Structures are given as structure tokens and as C-alpha cells.
Structure 1
Amino acid sequence: MDILLVDGYNMIGAWPELNALKDRDLAAARDRLVEKMAEYQAVTGFRVIVVFDAHYVQGIAKTYQNHKIEVIFTKENETADERIEKMAISLNNRRTQIHVATSDFTEQWSIFGQGALRKSARELLIEMGSIEKGIARNVKKIQETKPVSKIPISEEVAEIFEKWRRGEK
């Protein structure tokens, strides 16, 4: 199993779309990141856990699921880096590969020492761009293909049925 641990505010600060949104509405930027990570999880099959520092949201230390993504707000006086390090140690085993998405250089080296692989914010952004293009291609292909009838019918009969569906004679 592959697990991606994401330093939430690090991604928000590094991704242009989320950084611009953060200035207007931090909660919306967090929600958008979680939506993007849900797309990432759906395509890659990774278990994704997004960790946010408590210092941006005072008094909240909680864990919840959103779009099948685990979202963690650290407790007060605990940084996302500290929580990610603890999780990288506790989740690491022979059958699990931990990936950590952060651009914090110190965090990257600390995680690397635990046997986890790192992804910078830029690398994850590029990967997300590729995933979103793939999703758009698949949606377009589905929209362009005509639904297949369960009973083979001629084009002429299909036209007649389409006229009936529209209420034409």
C-alpha cells in the first residue's frame, strides 16, 4: 500500500491557484486542496492524509474524512511537520511505502531518514496537472461516444426513437 502524507498549508502556499484563493478564503483553499487530493487518490490508489497546522485554526485538534481523504488538524503547539514525522514512523512497515509531500527542506531530510519518499510541492502540482488532464480526456471521450443500445437497431429506427423522445412526429 502507498500512503501520501501532505503538508496542507505548505501545498496551499506553494500552488498558485490555492495561494491566491488563500488570500480571500483560507477555508475554501483547504477544501480545494482536499478535492484535488481526492482526485489524486482516485487515480493513483494511494491512501491520502492531509495534515494542517493548528496555529491557523485555533482550538481545533481533529481528524475527519472528506471525499475519502483523511484530514487532520494538529493539536495546539504541534506542527504539521511533527505530526507527519510521527505518522511516517507509525505507518511504515514492509508492505507500506510512505510518500511525503512538502517543500520544507528540513522536513524532507527528516522524512527521508525514516525511509519515506519525498515529493516537493512543485512535483505534486505537476503530477496533479497530469492527472487532471487525463481526467478531462476521459470525460471528453465518454461524452463524445454515443451510448450503446442493448438491442442492435438501425440508424433509421434510432432517428425515429429520437424524434419520439423529443415529442416530434
Structure 2
Amino acid sequence: MKTFFVDGYNVINSWPNLKKIKEFSYESSRLQLIDTLQNYSEFKGYKVFIVFDAHMVKGSIEKKEKQGNLFVVFTKEGETADNYIERTVNNIGRKSEICVVTSDSLVQQVTFQRGAIRMSSIEFYYEVISIEKKIQIKTEKKYLEKRNSLEERIDEKTLEKLEKIRRNL
């Protein structure tokens, strides 16, 4: 299974839609990112870790929440998202396919040296937008398949009568 590590605040500050939400509330932009990546991870079947910095929060301990294939991580006091991602990728090593999403070139370089694929936040944005379109098409297709037309639900005789009424015959 492919695993993604996403620098949460780096993505929020890079994606146009999340930047706008962030102006009003970081919490709202975090929730939107989590919701978006929940759909992405389920559709693609990938394990996704969204890592948020909590290194400036006094007394903060590392917190992890799991929602399906999505893991939301808040780092502990004194640890940045970059540190967490580098450490975790280093521990996993080259055992599985890993992609690190950040626009921080130093983190990209370090994680690449440890066997991970790197993707910028804006590249990931376009990847996610593409998947959202596929999800929408799949959902619409499912809806249309389940839809029953009137012609399918009534008998021929009634259908003929309704047609005559429609044409004023």
C-alpha cells in the first residue's frame, strides 16, 4: 500500500481554496483538508498521514487520530511536522512506497535520500482535484444507474394513455 506523508500547514498555505478558508479560521482549513484527503485516501486506497505542527504549543504531546486509511498527527512540543516526517520516513526506510508532500525543498531532499518519492504541495493539489472529479463522475454515474424512469415503472396501457393526454389526443 502506498503511503503519503502530508505537511498539513504547508499544504494549507499552498492550496488556493484552503488559503482563503485559513484567513477566517485555521481550524476550518484543517477540517477541510482532512475531509478532502479522507475522500482521496479512500478512493485511491492509500494510507495518508496529515502532520500538523504543534511544536509551539506548551506541554503538547503527540496525538494521532485514525479515520479509515487517514491518520491525523499533531506533533509534540518541540517537534515540527518536518522532523516528524523525516523521522518516520527514516524508520520505515525503503520497505514500502512512500510519498512526501511538502514544498519545503530541504525536507524533499532529505526524504528522497531515505527512499521516498517527493511531491510539491501544488502538484498534490492538482492530483487531488483530478481525483475529486473522478469521484464526482463515479457518484453521478451510480446515481443515474439507480434512477428509474416512469416508463420502467408502469405498464404499457397506462403509458399509452399518458402519452395521449400529453399530446392532447
TM-score (norm 2): 0.82
Aligned runs of 1:85-104 on 2, under 5 Å? 85-94=86-95, 96-104=96-104
Counterpart CA distance in 1 for 2:157 and 2:28 is 46
1:146 Cα deviation after fit: 3.5
* Paired residue secondary structure (2:66): strand
Aligned to 1:75: 76
* Paired residue secondary structure (2:137): helix
Aligned to 1:11: 11
Change (3 A) 1:66 1:56: farther
Counterpart CA distance in 2 for 1:26 and 1:159 is 61
Change (3 A) 1:112 1:78: same
Give me the CA root mean square deviation: 2.3
Q: Which has the larger radius of gyration?
A: 2
Aligned to 1:65: 66
CA contact (8 A) 2:3 2:48 kept: yes
Change (3 A) 1:2 1:157: same
1:75 Cα deviation after fit: 0.8
Q: Which consecutive unaligned segments of at least 5 residues does structure 2 have?
A: 159-169
What are the superposed Cα offsets for residues 91-140 of structure 1, whole Å, 9 maximum, x if unpaired? 2343x111100000111001111010001101110001100100111111
What are the superposed Cα offsets for residues 15-71 of structure 1, whole Å, 9 maximum, x if unpaired? 011111111111111111111111111121111111000146554331112454111
* Paired residue secondary structure (2:154): helix
Structure 1 position 113 matched with structure 2 position 113: yes
Q: Which consecutive unaligned segments of at least 5 residues does structure 1 have?
A: 161-169
* Paired residue secondary structure (2:48): strand
> What amino acid does structure 1 have at the position aligned with 2:123?
E
1:157 Cα deviation after fit: 3.5
CA contact (8 A) 2:57 2:77 kept: no
* Paired residue secondary structure (2:155): helix
Q: Percent identity?
A: 35
Counterpart CA distance in 2 for 1:32 and 1:58 is 26
Aligned to 2:36: 36
Structure 1 residue ranges (4+ consecutive) displaced by more than 6 angstroms after TM superposition: none
Change (3 A) 1:17 1:157: same
1:159 Cα deviation after fit: 9.9
TM-score (norm 1): 0.82
CA contact (8 A) 2:59 2:77 kept: yes
Change (3 A) 1:57 1:68: farther
CA contact (8 A) 2:94 2:115 kept: no
